[in-house]
Amino acid sequence: MKNESVEKRSESRTELEKYHSVEFKLADPGACYQFKIWNMSSKGMCLLVREDSDVVKCLNVGDTLDMKYYTSDASLPPESLKTQIKHITKEDEGRFQGHYLVGLFILENQQPCE
């Protein structure tokens, strides 16, 4: 019998190459975090965060943050976009065991972040 996994998302994932990484600051003005973007779709993306990272304690589902998105093309400037935390999911098994997947959603109809 084949072990086929069933896609549970409402839309298929595609590998978009517009954004490569994201950078953001939290309450502490000195702390700046940068993460590679994983698992992108047309409506969202994920960050892979180690479970022992201090940033996990500061993020909550529903938070809206000003994030700076870097493209794969280093000659293009980063884009500052308001982004909402959609989910924080701990991975207990598999490739990302010991990490959290932090789902991001770029808010539509927004003004650029300053």
Model pLDDT for residues 27-48, shown as the tens digit of each residue = 766 688 999 998 756 556 899 9
Report the CATH number of the 19-106 domain: 2.40.10.220
Mean pLDDT for the stretch of residues 48-52: 94
Domain ranges of the chain: 19-106
Spatial distance between the Cα atoms of 48 and 92, rounded to a whole number of angstroms: 13
Average pLDDT of every residue of the chain: 79
> Quick one: pLDDT at residue 67?
93
Higher-confidence residue: 1 or 20?
20
75-89 burial: b if 16+ Cβ within 10 Å, else e:
eeeebbbbbebbebe
- The model's pTM: 0.74
